Amino acid sequence: LIRFSSPAADALVRNALAEAVVARLDTDFVDPKKAAVADVSPASITHDVKGTASTGNPDADAEAAFGQFVAANLQPTGAVWLMSSTNALALSMRKNALGQKEYPDMTLLGGSFQGLPVIVSQYVGDQLVLVNAPDIYLADDGGVAVDMSR
């Protein structure tokens, strides 16, 4: 297909493959149902984590997350929040009684929440995840490559 199409087709295929890889990695990274598969892939960072239900109050929810984080003997100095762009947008639009933004450093693209950086991914869903970034390692074989033979 690529060999007989316009020169831009290989870029389209490469980009589609890259998007699929990103979707799979992001989903597997935070999906609480993703268990480890021996010699294939690790469990997600949220697998077997006992989370707390949302109270509807972002400050109370953040306080609960910090409580669990510190109770697990993790240092919050390396922590980052993971959330969807929908949740980031909702936080960025919240206003206090005076009409001022409650979280002025938040945008739908991220920013900071409770003094920590926010990483936005559509694959996080409705979760608000506090992770210790220094404990996360990624092994990568490189980018997506499209090769063709003649």
Question: Could you read off the pLDDT of 13-59 as tens digits, one per residue?
Answer: 778 888 888 888 888 888 888 899 998 888 888 888 888 889 999 99
User: Do 29 and 45 touch, CB atoms closer than 8 A?
Assistant: yes
Structure confidence at residue 138 (pLDDT): 75
Residue tagged 């992770």 (tokens): 131
Cβ-count burial 4-14 (b if 16+ within 10 Å, e if not): eeeeeebeebe
Spatial CA neighbour of 22 closest among 147, 148, 143, 145: 143
Question: Where is pLDDT greater, at 42 or 5?
Answer: 42
Residues of the chain with CATH 3.30.2320: 50-137
Question: Where is pLDDT greater, at 44 or 112?
Answer: 112
Domain 50-137 bears CATH identifier 3.30.2320: yes
Q: Answer whether residue 5 shows pLDDT above 80.
A: no
Question: Could you read off the pLDDT of 67-99 as tens digits, one per residue?
Answer: 999 999 998 899 999 999 999 999 999 999 999
